[in-house]
Chains A and B, each alone.
Chain A
Amino acid sequence: MSERETCVIHAYGLVDRAYSSLSMPTGIGGAPVTLLPVDGFAALVSELDAESYGPGMWRAHAEDPRWLEHVAREHHEVLQAIVQQTDVLPLRLPGIHESPARLEQVLDEQRADLTEGLAHVRGHVELGGQIFLVDRRGAGSEAQGSDAQQRPRSGRDYLRRRSAEAEDREQARLRRQAKVLDAHEAMAHGSTRAVVNPPQDAALSGREEPMLLNAAYLVPRYDLEGFIALAEQVQDDLAPHGMVLEVTGPWPPYNFTDLPERVSAGDTR
């Protein structure tokens, strides 16, 4: 595309059709968001000034966290406002196209996959489920009671005790791991699809408690309360082991845009 174009089309996501009743949020850089109807669905788009958001700017800011955070947040806020009203299939950043006609053309080329992608999230939202270890002295680790209070009688006694403590810690870790798996299994069972992502590093999450599960669940809209009730049971089960479950959402279904068994050519995941 020519970089001398004055406008680019930023695509946020896809909805079933060009609903006239959707309340449109403000887009990136304050631009209006409109619906571009194509055959089979409609794309949420903004016409953006190429000087601010064109390919040149993406290149210039590819390593600029502040600019990317701004674009990422505004991209997300549009999808978040829409998912509260209707089902939406998020598109990946950077979603810029040279013209509505060109976007329409590429959407048309991928129509079968995109239609299927929309069908997979129809009637659903994403909920995040994260489990944190808040207290290492959970159930089962009380073994370090009276014995540990006394001073070791000998070097051999000291080593024996150290080894017993290490064994206790390992046992506690395995019990927690089993509980985390049970928790995930229960929530996966209570949802349509589930994805487990690598736990976020404490340096990124800004939290001291280690994250033991970083999962996302695709939950039917009609069953949100049921899923929350299930999550509360899961939490009751985790609490005695020093773990807490945090549920976030409803999110646009970012984690569920892969078609099962098929990955599109440009997907670097």
Chain B
Amino acid sequence: MTVHDVGMHEDVALVDLIDRLIGGGVVVTGDLVLGIADVDLVYLGLRLVLAPAHDVEQTIVLRQSRSPLEA
């Protein structure tokens, strides 16, 4: 089995990081200085970090569903 130690940041797969940053972290109410619409844009933007621009819609990893274990 492979254990990837993420202690060294070079080892962090961008997809794993963005996967966490998009859905993770506590929202502190005051940080919504941008307004909700802009925050949504930021999350769209974070997805763009990963996806080839032309097929974002198809390839996006949305975190809305919580238990898709279908193999």
Q: Which residues of A contact B (CB under 8 A)?
A: 1, 11, 13-14, 55, 58-59, 61-65, 68-69, 72-73, 75-77, 80, 84, 89-98, 102-103, 105-107, 109-110, 113-114, 117, 128, 133, 173, 176-177, 180-181, 184, 195-201, 203-206, 212-214, 216, 228, 231-232, 234-235, 244-251, 254-255, 257, 264-269
Contacts and interface: CB of A to CB of B under 8 A. Distances in A.
Contact of A201 (B4, B18, B32, B61): B61
Contact of A251 (B6, B44, B46, B62): B6
A198 B45 CA distance: 19
Interface string B12-50: 111111111101111111111110101111111110111
B28 A133 contact: no
B71 A196 contact: no
Contacts of B60: 201
Contact of B69 (A84, A105, A184, A251): A184
Given A80-B6, A235-B1, A65 B45 contact: yes
Interface residues of B, number: 59
B24 to A, nearest CB: 3
Contacts of B29: 106, 109-110, 264-266
Contact of B28 (A77, A84, A91, A249): A91
A160 B6 CA distance: 50
A268 B39 CA distance: 10
A137 B39 CA distance: 45
Contact of A55 (B1, B33, B43): B33
Interface of B: 1-7, 9, 12-21, 23-34, 36, 38-46, 48-52, 55, 59-71
A98 B45 CA distance: 23
Contact of B30 (A103, A200, A232): A103
B27 A228 contact: no
A176 B61 contact: no
A205 B55 CA distance: 14
B50 A204 contact: yes
Which 10 A/B pairs are nearest by Cβ-Cβ distance? A254-B24, A106-B30, A92-B25, A235-B1, A62-B41, A254-B20, A177-B71, A266-B27, A65-B49, A203-B59
A264 B26 contact: yes
Given A69-B14, A177-B69, A248-B4, A91 B25 contact: yes
Given A63-B41, A95-B31, A72 B18 contact: yes
Given A69-B49, A232-B1, A268-B40, A59 B18 contact: no
B49 A90 contact: no
Most buried by A among B21, B49, B70, B71: B71
Contacts of A64: 45
Contact of B61 (A198, A244, A257, A267): A198
Nearest to B17: A76
Contacts of B69: 177, 180-181, 184, 196, 213
Contacts of A267: 27
Nearest to B2: A246
A11 to B, nearest CB: 7
Interface centre among B12, B23, B32 (most CB of A within 10 A): B23
